[in-house]
Amino acid sequence: MASPLSHLRVLDLSRILAGPFCGQILADLGADVIKVERPEGGDDTRGWGPPFLPGADGDRGDAGYFLACNRGKRSIRADLATPKGQALVKALAARSDIVLENYKTGGLAKFGLDYEGLKAVKPDIVYCSITGFGQDGPRASQAAYDFMIQAMGGLMSVTGEADGFPGAGPQKVGVPVVDLMTGMYAAIAVLAAIARRDETGQGEYIDIGMLDVAVGSLCNQAQNYFVSGKTPMRAGNRHPNIQPQDVFPCADGHVVIVVGNDGQYAKFCEAIGRPELIEDARFLTNGDRVRNLDQLMPELIAALSADTMKGWVARLESAGVPCAPINTVPDVLADPQVRHREMLVHLDHPVSGRLAMLASPMRFRNAPVAYRRAPPLLGEHDKEILAELGL
């Protein structure tokens, strides 16, 4: 059964994470994604380790970082600074629907591989440029990485323990969240442009900036600022608008409790043996609880110290109160729900054998996601792709 994008070809000139992650999303959806890499070393992330896969003849293989975002693609080597490499990219573009690139602003123009250059060989091409700061503005020429964009974009100002707590200070998210969201926004944008192209016959140039993505992701924190005029601050794991929502200590560790409304709050108080807190005027509504949180928290912490994490999860789930243990990565992969949803797939790597990978979270009834190839070796498909081009 054909996957949703099995009719599309993608020319992936990107490297590191945001662009490649976008390409992997499109590959999972069935697109033929050709990854063009520099002849020496390929994508930078092939060497971003340890850990590394074992390579051929005992050599070092590719890093886990590279494997995480290049599934389903074919790899071909090309030196874009040479006429031969430029001609190859143009030949590939002529038979592609989408181009992904994340070179510095203007970096591909000198090779004739910018939007105007490739539009000349494929007038209806959808061309997506991913950069740190977008194609214009005072920072347009600057390089960027996820960590610095989390800082500049405000995410770190609202992530981490509040001042005065042990370990207080700004924190980045534990995964490169801006890169990942940039890749997802890029995938949405190119597919929207393809839908429009199918209606109008017109291609598109798409400009995605990581800082724009980070700012757009401030979401409720920014809107709270617009409404209140107060600068959002770090609050650890406390939700700024809904309480009680936090990481709570219990007898043998910690448990996450997420009370989303007054009804759940009543169930929560009954489950922890503190029904008198339901009608307490200080905590009667969510707004009351947010305003009087410093008075509520000691009451809850004292009650929760009476049982273990496993005990509280079982008791609160039974009462209909959303809660969760804080799982490690192995814990997550062993969770019955995660296993049931088949969020782990195995692909045959050409050198290292059976390779475990996270599955796509997308589920289609009529046109399923396809896991056709493990992340490619550098230049693995040189001959195959050149033959398709008649070269």
The catalytic site residues sit at: 179
What six digits make up the tokens of 238?
A: 């406390």
Residues 111, 130: Cα–Cα separation, whole Å: 18
Structure tokens at 20: 């490649």
* Torsion angle, alpha carbons of 340, 344, 347, 349, to 10: -160
Find out whether 197 and 126 touch, Cβ atoms under 8 Å.
yes
